[in-house]
Amino acid sequence: MERLASFGNDPFDKPPCRGCSSYLTEPYVKCAECGPPPFLLCLQCFTRGFEYKKHQSDHTYEIMTSVFPVLDPNWTAQEEMALLEAVMDCGFGNWQDVANQMCTKSKEECEKHYMKHFINNPLFASTLLNLKQAEEAQHNETAIPFHPADDPPRPTFDSLLSRDMAGYMPARADFVEEFDNYAEWDLRDIDFVEDDSDILHALKIAVVDIYHSRLKERQRRKKIIRDHGLINLRKFQILERRYPKEVQDLYETMRRFARILGPVEHDKFIESHALEFELRREIKRLQEYRAAGITNFCSARTYDHLKKTRDEERLKRTMLSEVLQYIQDSSACQQWLSRQADIDSGLSPTVPVPSNSGRRSAPPLNLTGLPGTEKLNEKEKELCQMVRLVPGAYLEYKAALVNECNKQGGLRLAQARALIKIDVNKTRKIYDFLIREGYITKA
């Protein structure tokens, strides 16, 4: 009995033959009594009477093929799929290129058949309309819109952003280095010959099966990256910063479980915890009102205004006590006034500190209010202050060095300087610090 094959024209889309592990080409045979998963055999193995575990050669079977008409008696199902694929590759209207790719139909036949059965067919039009309406209804029920197909940035090769994107090439939708990049090396010397012993033949098939499992893992990881929109790392980090710090810590902890939940479910989970955090903070504020004896929101607004005024007065008294400590030393008083002027103008305070050599060196960097400071530990904060490096840049340099160290199994100072295009002395301090703290290892 003939059945439409449930795979595309690409032979790599089909599972391999259970007998010889070769890629199946139509027609092929499916056992009607074994499965799931389906037990598929090529014609050569079927004619040999191949048997494996519960499968016997006398089982009923189905012939899987697409050589039968569907919409037109003169067009087979295989030609229908080839036409759709050719239109997708060459573009609608390029009928000569479509005919050249199909090889079995002329330009006029391709155009006439496509316009008749796929454009002006009222059955297909109503079906497409119903599919579109169902898709819109599904999006309306979704609480959080998700757009994983945003066009990622196109950085120059080997730039810092390109390394952040793991070498992703948007024009090819592929990576410079794949996961398990050398998986194909195990197959380069394998050749199936007729005089192989059974053990050697089984060993070669086992190696091919292992290679298939590694390819599946590679595709699984690509799917996770695509579904969760992880290509554009900086955009992903900006979306993280919209949450409070407590929710950001939860986001960082739960990120490893995103591959299990899926993109929309994971975002819903984080959003629900962000909502819980907001509710807890509001409950705490209402409890504070109750402890203060406030019973209505009008009194609550007055209470908030007075509390803000008291906090400002307390800050002024603290600043005044600081001024009184400097008032007896004119030089120290002048430095304090200069520092306060820098703070009021939105700049980091810069108070020169004399060094032993007679030259003035820059003071430690003030990290107050800088993005990314909360993600640093105390030693990293001290490093950023001494080398005068903002936390965001330090985190990027740290990630680049750690990733390169994981790839190479170790990192030299020269490689670190090639990755980080900043002052060589700062690069050495960062490199020595990461070595000392165990983030990277020396090659």
Q: What is the pLDDT of residues 349-376, one digit of tens each?
A: 554 444 444 445 567 788 777 888 888 8
The rounded percent of the chain whose pLDDT value lies above 70 is 73
Q: Average pLDDT in the 191-212 region?
A: 86
How far apart (Å, rounded) are the C-alpha atoms in residues 381 and 375?
Answer: 9
Q: What is the pLDDT of residues 258-289, one digit of tens each?
A: 778 777 888 888 788 888 888 888 899 889 88
- Tell me: pLDDT of 202 over 60: yes
User: What confidence score (pLDDT) does residue 122 get?
Assistant: 67
Task: Decide: 38 and 16 in contact? Cβ < 8 Å.
Answer: no
How many whole angstroms from its chain centre is CA 88?
27
- Tell me: pLDDT of 75 over 80: yes
- Is the pLDDT higher at 218 or at 338? 218
- Is the pLDDT higher at 353 or at 83? 83
How far apart (Å, rounded) are the C-alpha atoms in residues 275 and 262?
Answer: 20
* Residue 165's pLDDT band (cuts 50, 70, 90): low
User: What confidence score (pLDDT) does residue 12 get?
Assistant: 47
- Residue 103 backbone zone (phi > 0: left; psi -120 to 50: alpha; other: beta): left
How many whole angstroms from its chain centre is CA 145?
17
- Tell me: pLDDT of 252 over 70: yes
- Is the pLDDT higher at 189 or at 197? 197
- Is the pLDDT higher at 323 or at 149? 323
Q: What is the pLDDT of residues 298-351, one digit of tens each?
A: 888 888 888 888 888 888 777 666 666 556 555 666 666 677 666 666 555 554
Query: What average pLDDT does the chain have?
Result: 76
Q: Which has the minimum average pLDDT: 37-41, 179-183, 415-419? A: 179-183
Q: Which has the minimum average pLDDT: 10-19, 126-135, 411-420? A: 126-135
Task: Decide: 363 and 347 in contact? Cβ < 8 Å.
Answer: no
Q: Average pLDDT in the 41-51 region?
A: 84
Model-level pTM?
0.32
- Tell me: pLDDT of 143 over 50: no
CA dist 433 to 68, 371, 390, 438, Å? 69, 21, 16, 9
Only one residue has tokens 């060459």, namely 90
User: What confidence score (pLDDT) does residue 371 get?
Assistant: 81
Q: Which has the minimum average pLDDT: 23-37, 236-250, 427-441? A: 236-250
* Residue 79's pLDDT band (cuts 50, 70, 90): confident
* Residue 123's pLDDT band (cuts 50, 70, 90): low
- Is the pLDDT higher at 162 or at 298? 298
Identity of residue 309: T
Q: What is the pLDDT of residues 55-68, one digit of tens each?
A: 887 888 887 777 77
User: What confidence score (pLDDT) does residue 283 get?
Assistant: 92
